[in-house]
Amino acid sequence: MHLTRTRLVVSLSVSVLCQGLDAQSSASGTAKAKAPKGFEKVDHDIHIGMLNARLRFDLEKFSVKPGSKVKLTLANNDSMQHNLIICKPGKGVLERIAAGALALGSKASEKHFVPDLPEVLFHTNALMPGQEHTIWFRAPEKAAMYPYICTLPGHTFTMRGVMTVGDVGNSLISNLRYDLFKGSFKLLKDMTGVSPVKKGVLKNGVIDIGRVGESSNFGVWFHADLRIEKAGKYSFFLRSDDGSCVRVNGTEVVADDGTHGLRPFKKGEIELGTGRHELRVEFFQGGGGKGLHVDMKGPGLRRRSLTANAGTGRPQGVPIMVMHDPVVMRVHVQNAVSRSIALGLPGGMNCVFDAGACRMQFGWAGAFLDVGPDRLGRGGRPCGIMGRRFEVGDVGFPLRRAGSKENTVRYLGYKTGPETQFLLDWDGQDVAWSVTGAPSGVGLRYTFEIPGIKTPVQFAIDRDGLDVASTAGTWSGGVLTVPANAAAKFSVTLTRSSGGDK
């Protein structure tokens, strides 16, 4: 049976999570998402948030039974807009959906960045920071991996997850419950003998300290059934802020006790036979940052996380969004020179120009910049790129005159608009270098305007890992020679060659 979008049941009520958005809060703060008819009881209750300013969902995989009733809540605890679209499996689907979202242009906001494509199965609204949105749907009958993404410009590269539809009974942990304790605990043993103030169930089978309803001075014991298919030695990896431990059948396997911040993973091992075992993860939190990460691996089991990527500390990032126009920003960028100009291009490509040496340093695919390091505290520190870096074959200022040794260049400024232009003085010759994203794939397109040029021009690049194309001239290795009659305006496209993304 094939599922169509008409079976999606959506509640549009939006509740507001945090302060700072007074208008929405008074309008809908009391509106509680109400389950539609037939979904009062659901099989799976999935809760997805974001890792602040890191362009990641805090839950990147979950499993549901074929045809089951699913309640999915997307909570935007980040500082920029996000949505979530669950897609049909298939090659190139995510790219088509991302491109379709971008093609919505000025209609994107009202359509929640959701393109009208058959590959879209279910989706939430595009949520402003602080909003949350719950949707209810019946899972597909067909067992498969259904990817989900955020389609805000540039986010698709990193905001991805997978909903597995299949036999949930086979999952590693099931019957996940928790006991919540209140108190300012300093050690794990301080929780012993304390009566829980609350008991709860986490239906999605993900150990998540963000879902027990407390942020400071609490403790929690997670209980679950651990199902082992193959007997042998199993390893548990643990890190937390503050203390935690993992127990299997009552035996402590690994502990990271005491009050502290996140530190490297600790590892513990235990021999387990096939069948059901009793798992208990104990955790407590004082004040400040918090986090809990539990991974396990064993015979036939690749290392996997049992926890949500969840919530450490308070939001720290200040992400800058790129929507329909390029964003130009002078800041220090990590691994770039100090006189850098960062450029965020519509469509998810970004790059950083060196205003001293007049060269492109590198690019990245994803969202633009986290300028928190420049804006928070004393500021002035290098900002982080929000995506995956790609090389642009930088060999310094790329233009040459055939047979000429003179090659000095001076940066004059930049012009903003639909295309960003860097203006240069090249031995007395004006050059305008504009930059856009490559028309397809991961890369950039440069257009050089050299008015009145009477000689051939060479464009030099390190072609390693790049596919190149140009509107004029001939390539020889990494050098494009453009004849004088075509040099007044020519374009070069650099894209990461398939296989170049390693």
Q: Does 328 bind other proteins (CB under 8 A)?
A: yes
Candidate residues 185, 234, 390, 414; the one interacting with other proteins per rule CB under 8 A: 414
Q: Closer to other proteins at the Cβ: 183 or 382?
A: 382
Candidate residues 7, 177, 260, 339; the one interacting with other proteins per rule CB under 8 A: 339
Q: Does 338 bind other proteins (CB under 8 A)?
A: yes
**Minimum CB–partner distance for residue 187 and other proteins (Å):** 30
Question: CA-CA distances (angstroms) from residue 138 to 6, 121, 402?
Answer: 11, 11, 65
Residue with tokens 């993304």: 501
201: buried, middle or exposed (CB in 10 Å: 19+, 13-18, 0-12)? exposed
Candidate residues 14, 172, 245, 331; the one interacting with other proteins per rule CB under 8 A: 331
Asked if 10 and 136 count as a contact pair (C-beta separation under 8 A), the reply is: yes
Q: Does 118 bind other proteins (CB under 8 A)?
A: no
Residue 348 Cα to chain centre, angstroms: 12
Q: Does 261 bind other proteins (CB under 8 A)?
A: no
User: Two tokens at 167?
Assistant: 């036999």
Q: Does 468 bind other proteins (CB under 8 A)?
A: no
- Residue 161, beta-bridge partner list: 148
Q: Does 241 bind other proteins (CB under 8 A)?
A: no
State the pairing for strand pair 218-228/275-285: antiparallel
**Alpha carbons 128 and 432: distance in angstroms, whole number:** 38
Q: Does 332 bind other proteins (CB under 8 A)?
A: yes
Q: Does 489 bind other proteins (CB under 8 A)?
A: no
Binding mask 349-388 for other proteins (x = CB under 8 A): ------xx-----------------xxxxxxxxx------
Tell me if residue 495 falls in helix, strand or coil: strand
Binding mask 288-327 for other proteins (x = CB under 8 A): ---------------------------------------x
**Alpha carbons 218 and 284: distance in angstroms, whole number:** 6
Q: Does 412 bind other proteins (CB under 8 A)?
A: yes
Nearest in space to 313 (alpha carbons), one of 376, 374, 382: 376
Candidate residues 413, 428, 452, 499; the one interacting with other proteins per rule CB under 8 A: 413
Q: Closer to other proteins at the Cβ: 379 or 483?
A: 379
340: buried, middle or exposed (CB in 10 Å: 19+, 13-18, 0-12)? buried
**Minimum CB–partner distance for residue 79 and other proteins (Å):** 12
Tell me which residues in 134-153 interact with other proteins (CB under 8 A): none
Q: Does 392 bind other proteins (CB under 8 A)?
A: no
Dihedral-angle region of residue 259 (phi above 0 means left; psi in -120 to 50 means alpha; beta otherwise): beta
**Minimum CB–partner distance for residue 445 and other proteins (Å):** 21
Q: Closer to other proteins at the Cβ: 370 or 374?
A: 374
Residue 115 Cα to chain centre, angstroms: 20
**Alpha carbons 452 and 455: distance in angstroms, whole number:** 9
Site of interaction with other proteins (CB under 8 A):
327-332, 338-339, 355-356, 374-382, 411-417
